[in-house]
Amino acid sequence: MSKRLGASVNDKASADGRRLVVDDENYYDSVDTTVAHRPNTEETGGSGEPHYQDIDGLLAEPTNTVMAFEITKRLGDVIRGVTGRGWTPVLNPCFCTLQDLRKLRYSMESVNSSTADSRILRPSLLPGLLKTLPSNAAIRKPIMIFECGVVHPDSGEAGMKGEQRIAATFLHKKENFNFDQYGLRSIRKFLDAVMSTIGVKNSKDGGGYYVKRSENPSFDHGSSGVIVGPR
Protein backbone atom coordinates (compact mmCIF):
# COMPACT_ATOMS: atom_id res chain seq x y z
CA MET A 1 0.00 0.00 0.00
CA SER A 2 1.22 3.53 -0.81
CA LYS A 3 1.30 6.12 1.97
CA ARG A 4 2.22 9.73 2.54
CA LEU A 5 3.53 10.92 5.93
CA GLY A 6 1.69 13.82 7.63
CA ALA A 7 -1.27 13.95 5.24
CA SER A 8 -4.32 11.89 4.41
CA VAL A 9 -4.35 9.97 1.16
CA ASN A 10 -7.46 9.72 -1.02
CA ASP A 11 -7.55 6.08 -2.04
CA LYS A 12 -10.12 4.37 -4.20
CA ALA A 13 -10.40 0.93 -5.63
CA SER A 14 -9.35 0.28 -9.19
CA ALA A 15 -11.77 -0.95 -11.79
CA ASP A 16 -10.85 -4.58 -11.24
CA GLY A 17 -10.95 -4.15 -7.44
CA ARG A 18 -7.51 -5.66 -6.99
CA ARG A 19 -5.43 -2.55 -6.16
CA LEU A 20 -5.70 0.98 -4.77
CA VAL A 21 -5.38 4.10 -6.85
CA VAL A 22 -3.79 7.09 -5.09
CA ASP A 23 -4.95 10.53 -6.24
CA ASP A 24 -2.23 12.46 -4.38
CA GLU A 25 1.03 12.71 -6.41
CA ASN A 26 3.23 13.38 -3.35
CA TYR A 27 3.65 9.91 -1.95
CA TYR A 28 6.26 7.21 -1.64
CA ASP A 29 6.12 3.44 -1.47
CA SER A 30 6.98 2.31 2.06
CA VAL A 31 8.19 -1.23 2.55
CA ASP A 32 8.76 -1.15 6.29
CA THR A 33 8.30 2.15 8.08
CA THR A 34 9.95 0.81 11.24
CA VAL A 35 13.18 0.41 9.29
CA ALA A 36 12.90 3.38 6.96
CA HIS A 37 12.12 5.81 9.76
CA ARG A 38 12.91 5.53 13.47
CA PRO A 39 10.53 7.94 15.28
CA ASN A 40 11.96 10.40 17.74
CA THR A 41 10.50 11.37 21.11
CA GLU A 42 8.04 13.93 19.73
CA GLU A 43 6.67 11.57 17.09
CA THR A 44 6.15 8.78 19.62
CA GLY A 45 4.23 10.96 22.05
CA GLY A 46 7.00 11.18 24.62
CA SER A 47 7.78 7.45 24.76
CA GLY A 48 11.47 8.23 25.00
CA GLU A 49 12.51 5.60 22.45
CA PRO A 50 15.97 6.52 21.10
CA HIS A 51 16.27 7.49 17.46
CA TYR A 52 19.19 7.31 15.05
CA GLN A 53 20.66 10.63 16.17
CA ASP A 54 21.22 9.12 19.63
CA ILE A 55 23.24 6.09 18.51
CA ASP A 56 26.58 7.79 19.27
CA GLY A 57 25.61 8.01 22.92
CA LEU A 58 25.02 4.27 23.08
CA LEU A 59 28.50 3.25 21.89
CA ALA A 60 31.04 1.83 24.35
CA GLU A 61 33.86 3.98 25.60
CA PRO A 62 37.08 3.70 23.54
CA THR A 63 39.85 1.44 24.86
CA ASN A 64 43.33 2.81 25.46
CA THR A 65 45.81 0.72 23.41
CA VAL A 66 48.82 3.03 23.46
CA MET A 67 51.02 0.59 25.39
CA ALA A 68 50.06 -2.36 23.18
CA PHE A 69 50.89 -0.31 20.10
CA GLU A 70 54.24 0.69 21.58
CA ILE A 71 55.17 -2.93 22.31
CA THR A 72 54.22 -4.00 18.78
CA LYS A 73 56.23 -1.14 17.30
CA ARG A 74 59.26 -2.00 19.43
CA LEU A 75 59.07 -5.66 18.38
CA GLY A 76 58.95 -4.60 14.74
CA ASP A 77 62.04 -2.45 15.27
CA VAL A 78 63.90 -5.43 16.74
CA ILE A 79 62.98 -7.68 13.81
CA ARG A 80 64.09 -5.10 11.26
CA GLY A 81 67.29 -4.44 13.19
CA VAL A 82 68.52 -8.04 13.26
CA THR A 83 67.25 -8.82 9.76
CA GLY A 84 69.44 -6.03 8.41
CA ARG A 85 72.49 -7.77 9.90
CA GLY A 86 72.12 -11.03 8.02
CA TRP A 87 69.65 -12.94 10.19
CA THR A 88 66.59 -14.55 8.61
CA PRO A 89 63.24 -14.59 10.48
CA VAL A 90 61.31 -17.87 10.51
CA LEU A 91 57.83 -18.84 11.66
CA ASN A 92 57.25 -22.25 13.24
CA PRO A 93 54.09 -23.94 14.57
CA CYS A 94 53.17 -23.10 18.14
CA PHE A 95 52.92 -26.82 19.01
CA CYS A 96 55.62 -29.37 19.77
CA THR A 97 55.81 -32.92 21.13
CA LEU A 98 57.21 -34.32 24.35
CA GLN A 99 59.84 -36.10 22.27
CA ASP A 100 61.08 -32.72 21.03
CA LEU A 101 61.45 -31.51 24.60
CA ARG A 102 63.21 -34.67 25.76
CA LYS A 103 65.85 -34.22 23.06
CA LEU A 104 66.63 -30.83 24.60
CA ARG A 105 66.64 -32.33 28.12
CA TYR A 106 63.88 -29.88 28.95
CA SER A 107 62.29 -30.06 32.39
CA MET A 108 59.05 -32.02 32.08
CA GLU A 109 57.62 -31.10 35.49
CA SER A 110 55.26 -28.42 34.16
CA VAL A 111 54.24 -30.28 31.00
CA ASN A 112 50.75 -31.73 31.27
CA SER A 113 50.49 -34.56 28.75
CA SER A 114 50.20 -38.33 28.87
CA THR A 115 52.01 -39.61 25.76
CA ALA A 116 55.21 -38.68 23.96
CA ASP A 117 53.34 -38.09 20.70
CA SER A 118 50.90 -35.61 22.21
CA ARG A 119 51.11 -32.15 20.70
CA ILE A 120 51.34 -29.45 23.34
CA LEU A 121 51.81 -25.70 23.32
CA ARG A 122 55.52 -25.04 23.04
CA PRO A 123 57.29 -23.88 26.21
CA SER A 124 60.32 -22.80 24.18
CA LEU A 125 61.21 -21.59 20.68
CA LEU A 126 64.23 -23.90 20.40
CA PRO A 127 62.46 -27.10 19.19
CA GLY A 128 61.11 -25.36 16.11
CA LEU A 129 64.39 -23.58 15.33
CA LEU A 130 66.45 -26.77 15.65
CA LYS A 131 64.08 -28.55 13.26
CA THR A 132 64.44 -25.74 10.75
CA LEU A 133 68.26 -26.02 10.58
CA PRO A 134 68.53 -29.57 9.16
CA SER A 135 65.69 -28.85 6.76
CA ASN A 136 67.89 -26.14 5.21
CA ALA A 137 71.28 -27.83 5.60
CA ALA A 138 71.90 -27.68 1.85
CA ILE A 139 71.81 -23.89 1.86
CA ARG A 140 75.09 -21.99 1.74
CA LYS A 141 76.66 -21.60 5.17
CA PRO A 142 76.44 -19.93 7.56
CA ILE A 143 72.74 -20.31 8.29
CA MET A 144 71.53 -17.71 10.79
CA ILE A 145 67.84 -17.79 11.72
CA PHE A 146 65.72 -16.34 14.51
CA GLU A 147 62.11 -16.31 15.61
CA CYS A 148 59.86 -14.01 17.62
CA GLY A 149 56.84 -15.80 19.03
CA VAL A 150 54.64 -16.67 21.98
CA VAL A 151 55.60 -19.55 24.25
CA HIS A 152 53.80 -21.11 27.21
CA PRO A 153 56.41 -22.07 29.81
CA ASP A 154 53.80 -22.88 32.45
CA SER A 155 51.21 -25.42 31.29
CA GLY A 156 49.98 -26.61 34.68
CA GLU A 157 46.45 -27.26 35.82
CA ALA A 158 45.90 -23.63 36.81
CA GLY A 159 46.13 -22.45 33.21
CA MET A 160 48.72 -21.15 30.79
CA LYS A 161 50.22 -17.72 30.35
CA GLY A 162 51.72 -16.76 27.02
CA GLU A 163 55.03 -14.90 26.90
CA GLN A 164 56.56 -13.12 23.92
CA ARG A 165 60.15 -14.29 23.37
CA ILE A 166 62.92 -14.14 20.80
CA ALA A 167 65.45 -16.88 20.05
CA ALA A 168 68.17 -17.44 17.47
CA THR A 169 70.32 -20.30 16.23
CA PHE A 170 72.96 -20.70 13.55
CA LEU A 171 74.90 -23.34 11.62
CA HIS A 172 78.56 -22.64 10.86
CA LYS A 173 81.50 -25.02 10.46
CA LYS A 174 84.09 -22.57 11.77
CA GLU A 175 82.21 -21.25 14.80
CA ASN A 176 83.78 -21.56 18.24
CA PHE A 177 81.07 -22.86 20.59
CA ASN A 178 83.06 -22.45 23.79
CA PHE A 179 81.94 -19.76 26.18
CA ASP A 180 85.04 -17.59 26.26
CA GLN A 181 86.23 -14.27 24.93
CA TYR A 182 86.27 -15.51 21.34
CA GLY A 183 83.42 -18.02 21.41
CA LEU A 184 79.80 -17.76 20.34
CA ARG A 185 80.47 -14.65 18.28
CA SER A 186 77.40 -15.07 16.09
CA ILE A 187 75.02 -15.24 19.05
CA ARG A 188 76.81 -12.35 20.76
CA LYS A 189 76.39 -10.21 17.64
CA PHE A 190 72.71 -11.13 17.49
CA LEU A 191 72.28 -10.16 21.13
CA ASP A 192 74.09 -6.87 20.55
CA ALA A 193 71.77 -6.10 17.63
CA VAL A 194 68.66 -6.76 19.73
CA MET A 195 69.87 -4.76 22.72
CA SER A 196 71.06 -1.80 20.68
CA THR A 197 67.64 -1.61 19.01
CA ILE A 198 65.89 -1.26 22.38
CA GLY A 199 68.52 1.16 23.67
CA VAL A 200 70.47 -1.04 26.13
CA LYS A 201 74.25 -0.91 25.91
CA ASN A 202 76.77 -3.66 26.62
CA SER A 203 78.23 -2.69 29.97
CA LYS A 204 78.79 -4.08 33.46
CA ASP A 205 78.36 -0.75 35.25
CA GLY A 206 74.75 -1.53 36.20
CA GLY A 207 73.16 0.55 33.45
CA GLY A 208 73.62 -1.98 30.66
CA TYR A 209 73.76 -5.71 30.11
CA TYR A 210 76.42 -8.40 29.95
CA VAL A 211 76.62 -12.17 29.55
CA LYS A 212 78.08 -14.46 32.18
CA ARG A 213 78.76 -18.15 32.01
CA SER A 214 76.13 -20.59 33.24
CA GLU A 215 75.04 -24.18 32.77
CA ASN A 216 71.95 -25.24 30.84
CA PRO A 217 70.99 -28.92 30.42
CA SER A 218 69.92 -28.28 26.82
CA PHE A 219 73.49 -27.34 25.79
CA ASP A 220 76.93 -28.88 26.10
CA HIS A 221 79.04 -28.12 29.13
CA GLY A 222 80.79 -24.76 28.85
CA SER A 223 78.78 -23.50 25.88
CA SER A 224 75.97 -21.51 27.50
CA GLY A 225 75.53 -18.25 29.34
CA VAL A 226 72.91 -16.08 30.94
CA ILE A 227 72.07 -12.44 30.20
CA VAL A 228 72.35 -10.05 33.13
CA GLY A 229 70.27 -6.94 32.54
CA PRO A 230 70.50 -3.41 33.94
CA ARG A 231 69.75 -2.95 37.63
pLDDT in tens, 141-169: 888 899 999 998 865 555 567 888 999 99
The rounded Cα 102 to chain-centroid distance in angstroms is: 28
Q: Is residue 150 within 8 Å of 162, Cβ to Cβ?
A: yes
- Which of 5-9, 82-86, 207-211 is predicted with the least confidence, judged by mean pLDDT? 5-9
Q: What is the reported pLDDT for 129?
A: 92
pLDDT of 58-69, one tens digit each?
555 655 555 555
Q: Mean pLDDT in the chain?
A: 71
What CA–CA distance (Å, rounded) separates 198 from 148?
A: 15
Q: What is the reported pLDDT for 4?
A: 44
Q: Looking at the whole model, is its pTM more than 0.75?
A: no
Domains, in order of start, for the chain: 1-33 (no CATH), 66-211 (3.30.930.10)
Q: In the predicted model, what is the mean pLDDT of residues 110-117? A: 55
- Report which of residues 48 and 205 the model is more confident about: 205
